[in-house]
């Protein structure tokens, strides 16, 4: 459930900056107000402003915050900001970035800037960056940071604590445990900081460490990584290659980003949009993106219209059918959408597959039959009262039951099929489902009317 106070505070900040820019307030107080915020809050303000105001605000951001701000804005906004920056400023902004964040950032910079950033790095940092970038960005390898603290099992806890004291500020953020490896750098387990400080310092690591969590393979998809973190309440987890050799670690802050991005992707995909699109993008580019989706919907609408056209003679003789037929399509569409949403969520959480799809299908058909019986009686009675025709009421009742069952079957079958074809069910499922329930709804209703009434 969203925190209303926080959301209100965000909108108030955007309004305050908008008003300050509209009134022509001197830049000095705006600069002070802006740089007192967290980089994520600055990014939110930048994304919420129109491009002309966005440029003014970006010029006022303190250079030491620029890197963090760029990481928090969407891809399109980041690209537009980078385009206006000098190469030296971009290189300066990357200093201090975590390696996994830097790897993501490098995807958006021009090739000339990419080379300049690489050349500015020392050999060790360059090698670590290349290791992360050798994996696709949506895998554990692409999420990981190679900045880890690894210890051997044969040393004492006292030695480990003295080693950590010498590290001082070099201890990576979100370090809740140390990674135990053998002399070949093969992952063995973890030693939590709580166990480190609460046990006898003379004990060896091998006597205290735990052989958990299991190492996450670098090729694992980021959504699976997120499931592991949420299921096991992890703060960090080691990343290993196929041979079990330690490569790096993933921390909870990266997993939170994955969960948020996945939720945004699912929401925006249902409307055929990209979660990284700039809401203040130029009219032409926004129109072109949406035109494709509108074209797809037009094709599906034409299919439904073609079905109606087949029964033109029936509609001319029984005008009441034209009034009632949207009800049938709408009821099937809503029922199918409910099942579709349930299945897409189950697929995302790894709870639904072909092994248990049959049981879910039987359950959803039973639900559709029950709801179909209820609402077909209600709609049938309304139709009889409205048009004074019992047969018409029976026809629309039967058509509603048929379409609700088709909606349930389609709501389960479509996302499973799209998943098999490696197509995002959230992106295409809704359109396919609407087409099927519209076509079947019109076909069942008008077909039954033609057979019985004409």
Q: What pLDDT score was predicted for residue 275?
A: 55
Contact between 88 and 58 under an 8 Å Cβ cutoff? The reply is: no
* Mean pLDDT per 10-residue section of the chain, whose length is 454 residues: 52 84 84 89 88 88 88 85 86 82 82 85 84 87 88 92 82 87 93 92 92 91 90 91 92 87 70 61 72 77 87 85 91 91 81 84 93 94 91 94 94 90 80 90 92 84
Q: What pLDDT score was predicted for residue 169?
A: 64
> What strand order describes the sheet that includes 187-192?
150-151, 177-181, 187-192
- Separation between Cα atoms, residue 442 and residue 448, nearest integer Å: 10
State the pTM of this model.
0.69
Looking at domain 283-453, which of 3.40.630.30, 3.30.70.580, 1.10.357.20, 3.60.130.10 is its CATH number? 1.10.357.20
Q: What pLDDT score was predicted for residue 262?
A: 78
Name the class of domain 150-269.
alpha beta
Q: Rounded to 5, what percent of the chain is helix, strand, coil?
A: 70, 5, 25
3-state secondary structure of 84: coil
Q: State the DSSP H helix or E strand holding residue 203, giving kind and residue range, or none if neither.
A: none
* Exposed / middle / buried, residue 142 (Cβ in 10 Å: 0-12, 13-18, 19+): buried
Q: Where are the domains of the chain?
A: 4-138, 150-269, 283-453
Contact between 241 and 217 under an 8 Å Cβ cutoff? The reply is: yes
Contact between 156 and 203 under an 8 Å Cβ cutoff? The reply is: yes
Round the CA-based radius of gyration of the chain to a whole number and report it: 29
Count of CB atoms situated within 10 Å of the CB of 207 = 12
Find, among 430, 108, 136, 410, the residue nearest to 266 by Cα: 430
Q: What pLDDT score was predicted for residue 272?
A: 59
Rounded to 5 degrees, φ, ψ at 400 are -65, -45
49 preceded by cis ω (within 30°)?
no
Q: Parallel, antiparallel, or unpaired: how do β-strands 187-192 and 216-217 relate?
A: unpaired
Q: What pLDDT score was predicted for residue 217?
A: 94
Q: What pLDDT score was predicted for residue 426?
A: 76
- The superfamily in CATH containing domain 4-138 is MgtE N-terminal domain-like (1.25.60.10)
Distance set, CA 449 to CA 1, 109, 306, 385, 395 (Å): 47, 62, 17, 18, 7
Find, among 208, 225, 207, the residue nearest to 216 by Cα: 225
């Amino acid at each position: 459930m969203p925190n209303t106070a926080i959301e209100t505070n965000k909108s108030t900040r955007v309004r305050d900056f908008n008003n300050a820019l509209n009134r022509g307030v001197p830049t000095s107080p705006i600069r002070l107000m802006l740089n007192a915020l967290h980089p994520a809050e600055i990014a939110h303000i930048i994304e919420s402003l129109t491009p002309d105001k966005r440029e003014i605000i970006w010029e006022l951001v303190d250079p030491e915050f620029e890197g963090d701000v760029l990481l928090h804005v969407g891809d399109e906004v980041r690209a537009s900001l980078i385009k206006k920056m000098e190469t030296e400023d971009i290189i300066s902004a990357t200093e201090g970035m975590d390696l996994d964040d830097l790897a993501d950032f490098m995807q958006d910079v021009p090739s000339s800037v990419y080379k300049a950033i690489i050349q500015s790095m020392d050999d060790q940092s360059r090698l670590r960056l290349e290791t992360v970038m050798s994996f696709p960005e949506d895998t554990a390898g692409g999420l990981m940071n190679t900045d880890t603290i690894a210890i051997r099992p044969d040393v004492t806890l006292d030695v480990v604590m003295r080693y950590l004291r010498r590290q001082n500020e070099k201890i990576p953020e979100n370090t809740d445990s140390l990674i135990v490896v053998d002399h070949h750098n093969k992952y063995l387990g973890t030693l939590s900081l709580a166990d480190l400080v609460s046990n006898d310092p003379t004990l060896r690591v091998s006597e205290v460490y735990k052989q958990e969590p299991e190492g996450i393979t670098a090729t694992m998809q980021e959504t699976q990584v997120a499931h592991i973190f949420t299921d096991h309440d992890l703060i960090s987890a080691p990343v290993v290659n196929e041979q079990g050799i330690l490569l790096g670690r993933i921390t909870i802050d990266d997993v939170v980003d994955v969960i948020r991005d996945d939720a945004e992707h699912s929401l925006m995909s249902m409307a055929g949009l990209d979660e990284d699109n700039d809401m203040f993008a130029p009219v032409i580019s926004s129109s072109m993106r949406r035109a494709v989706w509108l074209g797809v919907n037009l094709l599906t609408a034409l299919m439904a219209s073609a079905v109606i056209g087949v029964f033109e003679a029936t509609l001319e003789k029984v005008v009441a059918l034209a009034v009632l037929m949207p009800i049938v399509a709408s009821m099937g569409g809503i029922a199918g959408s409910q099942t579709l949403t349930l299945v897409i969520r189950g697929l995302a959480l790894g709870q639904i597959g072909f092994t248990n799809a049959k049981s879910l299908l039987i359950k959803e058909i039973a639900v559709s039959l029950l709801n179909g019986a209820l609402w077909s009686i209600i709609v049938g009675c309304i139709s009889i009262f409205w048009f004074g025709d019992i047969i018409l009421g029976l026809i629309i009742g039967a058509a509603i039951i048929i379409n609700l069952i088709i909606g349930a079957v389609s709501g389960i079958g479509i996302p499973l099929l799209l998943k098999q074809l490696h197509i995002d069910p959230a992106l295409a499922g809704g359109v396919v489902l609407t087409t099927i329930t519209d076509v079947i709804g019109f076909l069942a209703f008008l077909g039954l009317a033609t057979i019985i009434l004409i």
